[in-house]
Amino acid sequence: MSIATLVLLGVATVGWGLRAQNHPNFSGKWTVVPSRSVMWNDAGTPVNITVFGEAFTADQTQDTLTIAIDNEKGFKWVYRLDGQVSPHIVPGPAGAQPTSSIAVWSGSELMITTGVPADGDGTLQSSTTTRTLKLNEDGTLRVEAPWGRGGAMIGSVYAKSS
């Protein structure tokens, strides 16, 4: 078993123990607030990139979170909220790309780790991306993710538009 798989299993186990807590509901139409978003490239120079695009729609139930990013032409990411693997076939310029995601709660934050399967069983490779969603006190949504190499992060802040 790879180190990445062991880490993901550990995160999923911790998240499962926290499942009984009340968690925020991210449902709604969200639009990026550029002035409150932190965007870098590896050299520290600001770049115009967002985690979930300029706008997206979230629909959350007790069991799933569905994210439809406006510029992804109808594709929807559906994440299970029970720490189990959520498979996706992502359209792209080079053709469809299979991915797998695991969404787990850490208190009031939702961490979604996505990777490309190493084989047909949905096992994630060591190359993964983790996005963290958190509601701010003012009702905005902060979504953080790694960008590039060297540990640089982007943090997109979204305001609910409906």
Instruction: Give the pLDDT of the chain (162 residues) as one tens digit per residue.
Output: 444 443 344 444 444 444 446 899 999 999 999 888 876 555 666 666 788 989 999 999 999 999 999 988 889 999 999 999 999 988 877 778 888 999 999 999 999 999 875 555 555 555 688 999 999 999 999 999 887 666 677 889 999 986
Question: Nearest-CA neighbor of 38 among 46, 26, 27, 29?
Answer: 46
Amino acid symbol at 30: W
pLDDT at position 48: 65
Residue 10, classed as helix, strand or coil, is helix
Number of other residues whose CB lies within 10 A of the CB of residue 120: 7
Each domain of the chain, given as residue ranges in start order, spans 3-160
| Cα gap 6→43, rounded to integer Å | 32
* Tokens encoding 31: 């639009």
Q: Give the 3-state secondary structure of residue 4.
A: helix
Tokens of 130: 């983790």
Helices (H), the chain: 3-17
CATH code of the domain made up of 3-160: 2.40.128.20
SS3 9: helix
